[in-house]
Structures are given as C-alpha cells and as structure tokens.
Amino acid sequence: MDGPALDSTHRYEPGEAGWTPLLLLHGTGGDENDLLPLGRMVAPGAPLLSPRGKVLEGGMPRFFSRLAEGVFDEAEVAARADELADFIEAARDRYGLASPVALGFSNGANIAAAILYRRPRVLAGAILIRAMVTLEAAPREPLDGRPVLVLSGASDPLIPAENAGRLADALERAGGRVSHRTLPAGHGLTQGDVATARDFLAAEFPN
C-alpha cells in the first residue's frame, strides 16, 4: 500500500466498516502487540493501530522517559506527545483511517492525556486507564466535547486518587466530556476496566 513512511514500529490491523479506530498505547515494558487483545475485547470490529514507545528504560519500551517514579521532564513529555501526534496523522493517511480513540494503559494513558493537552484534534476521544498528570499547565487547545473516560484503581499504589482527579478536572475544564470512574483495582488491568471501556465505546462511538 502506498502512502507516507511511518517512523514508529507499530502494528495495524484493519477493521470493519463503521467502526471507529482504536489507537492502542501500551504501558512500560509493553510493545506494539501488548494491547491488541484488549482492543479486540472492547471493540471487536475496530481497526487497531498500535505503536511501540520509542524510549527505553532499563530495556523496557515507554512513550517518554521519567526522572523518577511519578516525576517527569515536561518538555520531553510535550515533545514526545507532539511526535506521536505526527505519527497518528501519518498513519491516518497511510491506512485511510478516521480519527482514532486512544486506549492507553499507564504510560500509554499518560502520553494519550498529553496529546489531549496539546493536539486533541488528532483524536476522537480517549480511554485513559491508570493515568496521572504529566503536564501541569492547562491544556493549550479546547477538547470541543471529545469524550474521555478516566479509569482509576482504588488501591493503585502508583497514582494518588487526587492526581487522577486533577487530570479529569483539567480535561473537563478544557471542554472534554469526561467520565472519571474509580474501580476496585490496583494498578493492573482488570475485567472491570474491560467492561467499562467496552460500554463507553458502545455508547459514545456506536458502529
């Protein structure tokens, strides 16, 4: 298939007509294959676009580096978010895709949130599983009603509840239609995340 060159290692799986594409963004140590099963569980007919993070931490792929647990270089987060937004635009041209919904877990959810802060028009919406604030400044562009689901874990040892709440509030103030749910979970994915994400997509992006 002809089209622009894509500079990120990724997987693309075509879907069925009428389904909104999903952009799958793995957590630390994952890769482009990691969330494909999750994508199929929550949206069986959706086209799936799944890039691998370009940053390595102890040999484990991430979408941006960190200075310490929960401590980020905001300039680098912003640059990586813009780089991934450029990849999304190129992939849309390459594969003939509509704007995708980002489905991110942990580090992947954080880079998706950073894209919503900086380049929201490349996304149709987002599901942010175990996300936290990585950019302290307010989102620089309006979200214009894009639906966003933030899924927190009640016993998550890595992300304080108030931090996830601040993220949801910032996205709502920027014009997103934000639903923030706290599930009986830790930091890992659960069946509750799968079911809640599936219901969100069915309601907001019916095929």
- Residues with a catalytic annotation lie at 106, 156, 187
**Whole-angstrom distance, CA of residue 178 vs CA of residue 28:** 25
- Range list of H helices, the chain: 36-42, 74-95, 107-118, 161-173, 191-204
**Whole-angstrom distance, CA of residue 112 vs CA of residue 25:** 8
Reported residue count of the chain is 207
Amino acid of residue 8: S
Largest CA distance in the chain: 47
Alpha-carbon radius of gyration of the chain: 15
- Residues 36 and 24 sit within 8 Å (Cβ to Cβ): yes
**What are the two backbone dihedrals, phi and then psi, of residue 141, each rounded to the nearest 5 degrees?**
-130, 150
**What pairing do the DSSP bridges indicate for beta strands 101-105 and 22-25?**
parallel
